[in-house]
């Protein structure tokens, strides 16, 4: 598999008639790995699960929740993977999933899909990322999803991010913002407030130095947000493995 295509998308629950539109967007992406934030188990979740399997994304991890109305997140892969909630702390809600995927004889991808909560509740999840073993920085590694964070006035039109210092600590420790590396002066927003009209780039792909070398494409699809399939744009990442 020379090119590995990864799609990350906050689907805003994916309920009702939007399931078909979400699955259509996934199919059009031809993704080999999909992460869905704000996935919910239950009737509509079952529709999405079956749809993902029909698209060949048969290796799936979606942590259980106490209620079908509670958000979780999902990783689905065409390739065999081992996955589990992250961090391994039952006291924390399932807001991240860690996976290891054998992509090729020379590439094992370590990835964590995230959907961080707002404000102070983000802190333990950022701390868990900071505490990852050194092998994450040394290998082909990826942190991807909705961080609900960024750098004010670079990734937003306001200064309202709560944990910018923790997000920047990840960058200072060696993680690279794949999109920003390739678009240093651009501003794109993946979520826009319906009340104030302010834009935010909440959705990021942070890669290790080794993984950054094999990134061939990284971009946002704003049409799915503008078309109201979700309130978030989707993030597409391509790796030459």
Q: Which residues contact 220 (CB under 8 A, 6 or more apart)?
A: 179, 188, 190, 203, 233, 234, 235, 236
Q: Is the pLDDT of residue 7 over 70?
A: yes
Residue 1 pLDDT exceeds 60 = no
- Lookup: tokens for 48: 């999405």
Higher pLDDT, 233 or 91: 233
CATH architecture, range 3-240: 4-Layer Sandwich (3.60)
pLDDT, tens digit, for every residue of 20-54?
A: 999 999 999 999 999 999 999 989 999 999 999 99
The residues, ordered by sequence, that sit 6+ positions from 167 with a Cβ below 8 Å of its Cβ are 126, 147, 149, 150, 151, 161
Mean pLDDT score, 173-189: 96
pTM: 0.95
Closest C-alpha among 26, 42, 121 to residue 77: 26
Average pLDDT over residues 96-116: 94
CB 123 within 8 A of CB 152: no
**Over residues 216-224, mean pLDDT:** 97
So what's the pLDDT on residue 13?
Answer: 73
The confidence score (pLDDT) of residue 17 equals 75
CB 144 within 8 A of CB 129: no
pLDDT of res. 223? 96
Query: Which pLDDT belongs to residue 81?
Result: 96
Give the pLDDT score at 105.
87
Band of pLDDT at residue 15, cut at 50, 70 and 90: low
pLDDT, one tens digit per residue, over 52-105 is 999 999 999 999 888 888 889 999 999 999 999 999 776 778 899 999 999 988
**What is the per-residue pLDDT across 120-162, written as a single tens digit (0 to 9) for each?**
999 999 999 999 999 999 999 999 999 999 999 999 999 889 9
pLDDT tier at 16, thresholds 50, 70, 90? low
């Amino acid at each position: 598999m020379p090119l590995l295509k990864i799609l990350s998308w906050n689907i805003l629950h994916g309920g009702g008639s939007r399931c078909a539109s979400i699955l259509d967007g996934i199919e059009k992406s031809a993704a080999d790995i999909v992460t869905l934030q704000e996935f919910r188990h239950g009737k509509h979740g079952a529709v999405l699960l079956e749809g993902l399997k029909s698209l060949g994304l048969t290796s799936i991890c979606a942590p259980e929740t106490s209620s079908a109305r509670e958000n979780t997140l999902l990783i689905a892969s065409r390739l065999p993977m081992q996955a589990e909630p992250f961090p391994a702390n039952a006291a924390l809600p399932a807001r991240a999933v860690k996976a290891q995927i054998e992509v090729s004889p020379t590439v094992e991808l370590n990835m964590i899909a995230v959907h961080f909560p707002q404000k102070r509740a983000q802190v333990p999840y950022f701390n868990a990322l900071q505490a990852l073993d050194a092998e994450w920085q040394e290998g082909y590694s990826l942190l991807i999803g909705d961080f609900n964070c960024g750098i004010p006035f670079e990734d937003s039109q306001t200064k309202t991010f709560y944990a910018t210092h923790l997000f920047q600590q990840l960058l200072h420790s060696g993680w690279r913002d794949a999109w920003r590396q390739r678009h240093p002066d651009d501003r794109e927003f993946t979520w826009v407030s319906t009340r104030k009209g302010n834009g935010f780039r909440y959705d990021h792909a942070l890669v290790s130095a080794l993984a950054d070398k094999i990134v061939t494409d990284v971009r946002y699809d704003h049409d799915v947000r503008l078309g109201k399939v979700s309130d978030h744009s989707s993030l597409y990442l391509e790796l030459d493995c």
